[in-house]
Amino acid sequence: MSSERLMRIHSPEFQAMADRVLRATELTSRLNVLPFEDEAGKAALFAQILGRPLPPRTTVHPPFFTDHGLHLDLAERVFINQNCTFLDYAGIRLDERVMVGPKATFITSGHPVDPEERRHYLTGGPIHVQENVWIGAGATILPGVTIGRDAVIAAGAVVAEDVPAASLVTGPKATVSRRW
């Protein structure tokens, strides 16, 4: 995949990422203890976490977790339920009207399979969730995946490959069950 990233661990780029992870962790830990009704406090912290305010009519219910935040791109009318995790090192884009169930996890980074390379490199691929997708509770979306418009990802599914538009994806290793 041409958009796949490879970063050497113990490099200046890796150190900068590690510094941002510490900052994002600090900000999300503050966000996750605010009273639910503190809209102004949540908005201020989301602006720091994402590097910009949440878009209009976008809802994110804490607790919320991200390791970077600055590479998480949320469109208008996105809904993210509680306890979701976004490891956005390589970039995550959620288009308009995406709904994310509780405890969903988006992971854009990993390590090479080769044991000799595993401790020396971080790999990654962006995730793109197109318009009007529904992601069920506890689903896991892995690096480099694009989910097509109007698709539904069932609760608990593990999505390791691109998903066609208007399809239902189920199972612990997600497969396309049907298209419409």
**Catalytic positions, please?**
111
The distance in angstroms from the start CA to the end CA of the chain is 27
The tokens 């992601």 sit on which residue? 135
